[in-house]
Amino acid sequence: MKVSVIGGGLGGLLAGAALSKDHDVHIYEQLEIYGGRFTNLPYKGFQLSTGAFHMIPHGPTGPLASLLRDVGANVDIVKTNPEATFMTKDLKQIPFRDFNELLSAASRSRIPALVMRTVTHKKGNVADMVWNDPEWLAIADSCCGWALSTTAQNTPASEAVAILTTTRKYGTPGVPMGGCKGVVDALADVIESNGGSVSLNSKVDSIMVEDGKAAGVVVGGERISSDIVISNIGHKLTSRLYDGKYLEPKYAGVINKVRPSAGIKIVLAAEEPLVGHPAAMFTPYTQRVNGINEVSHIDPSLAPEGMHLTMSHQTMRTPDVQKEIELGLQDLKNLFPGKKYSVLMVQSYRDDWPVNRISSGFDLGNLTPVRGLFVVGDGAKGKGGIEVEGIALGVRNFLDIFDK
Ligand code: FAD
């Protein structure tokens, strides 16, 4: 079967690699690099990234690691130790599991009830789930902000419950050696060694549809026929590439309603360890920053010798990007007084280059109104899958549909 893939991000590369053993796979990427929001940008000896924090939410035991192994992509993923920490109000770190130390006696007394709610509370949002208790909300906001780039208020309780279930099942985070690029390079190698191709500077201008079925893609004016088309660019952008007469009104209504999650990443060149370990350090007591990591403790090649790559993340709370960035920079000054570091890069992620194309809990699955046209990537994450783990679960769902 001939397969065209629109976009060489992680979703497109995963689906392409999985099919390339038995099918003729061709990936078309508009940029001069593949990897989308999951690859490296070399700068001043650091391996910055186009998006992700060089972190895989469930490490070597999660859905992404398992799919990488199944498709034959050789990636070394190292678990972080500790699994995560919290920074307290007086700037000390405590292990994630000791979160109760952050709480007053009154808020702590709600722990048994909250444990019950993390199993049964499937309606409303996470803020409701924690009774809008300000102490619990600070913790919930920093976790939702770091892991999903949303607030507790904007995270459905059902998705949080599903995420807790997958976390119990798959375990804690890890860092791929070589950073994000280590993962996407391994996938591109699999595709090419199976006879497939990844064409760069190749923007797909439209999707050919015949009798309601995908028939191929048009790239730079060239019509390329294929048996199926897989899109890695989300439902909404995909729908703009084919004739609007195929858009079912209900589907059109839904894809125009769902929203991406937006965020800001501030990257620091640290002359001394700031976090002191590779895991996520959650920061509940800031104005904006939700968490920070320093993955060069696991892979020193991500920073120049003797230095560290330190990255903070914050969800976008208001549309005033400049103001949000200023508040984030102020947080970092307050968190690391007297430490030696400089700001390497500030990136904001929204619109068509967001943190998540569809905010967690609102994903739309792989199917489209056009037969033989499927969506993969972070507009089609699997239930309970954080970030790239959701992408891997979504690609598994697609492969199940494809096999039937
Ligand atoms: P993309 O990476 O967006 O890939 C789509 C590709 O399609 C792009 O390369 C694009 O150029 C191409 N394209 C678009 N239109 C066309 C066209 N018409 N023709 C051809 N090509 C086209 N996840 C984690 O698991 N861990 C993290 O630490 C983490 N941190 C993050 C931090 C930030 C700041 C951000 C922004 C994201 C983070 N994520 C993280 C999320 C993760 O990076 C994304 O979910 C993931 O990379 C999205 O992959 P994708 O394949 O779905 O989409």
Predicted complex ipTM: 0.99
| Ligand 1 atom nearest residue 234's Cα | 52
The secondary structure of 165-216 as a DSSP string is HHHHHH---EEETTTHHHHHHHHHHHHHHTT-EEESS--EEEEEEETTEEEE
Is the CB of 291 within 6 Å of ligand 1?
no
Q: What is the DSSP letter of 259?
A: -
Contact 56, 174 (CB under 8 A): yes
pLDDT digits (tens, 9 = 90+) for 214-270: 999 999 999 999 999 999 999 999 999 999 999 999 999 999 999 899 999 999 999
Q: What is the CATH topology of the domain spanning 2-75+176-257+358-403?
A: FAD/NAD(P)-binding domain (3.50.50)
Tokens representing 293 are 């990591």
Q: Look over the chain and give the mean of its residue pLDDT values, rounded to a whole number.
A: 96
Ligand 1 center from residue 184 Cα (angstroms): 11
Pocket test for ligand 1, best of 27, 37, 208 (most atoms within 8 A of CB): 37
Please tell me the predicted confidence (pLDDT) of residue 56.
98
Please tell me the predicted confidence (pLDDT) of residue 248.
92
Residue nearest to ligand 1 atom 12, measured at CA: 7
- pLDDT-based confidence at 352, cuts 50/70/90? confident
- pLDDT-based confidence at 119, cuts 50/70/90? confident
Q: For residue 320, what are the CA distances in angstroms to 263, 303, 346?
A: 12, 31, 15
For strands 373-375 and 228-231, give the pairing.
Answer: parallel
- Is pLDDT above 90 for 145? yes
Spell out the domain ranges in the chain.
2-75+176-257+358-403, 97-168, 260-349
Domains 2-75+176-257+358-403 and 260-349 share a fold: no
Is the CB of 387 within 6 Å of ligand 1?
yes
| Nearest of 312, 314, 310, 313 to residue 340 by alpha carbon | 310
Query: Which string of b and e fits 307-335 if b means at least 16 CB within 10 Å?
Result: bbbbbbbbbbbeeeeeebbebbbebbeeb
Please tell me the predicted confidence (pLDDT) of residue 332.
98
CA pair distance 218, 210, nearest whole angstrom:
14
> Please, what CATH class does the domain formed by 260-349 belong to?
alpha beta
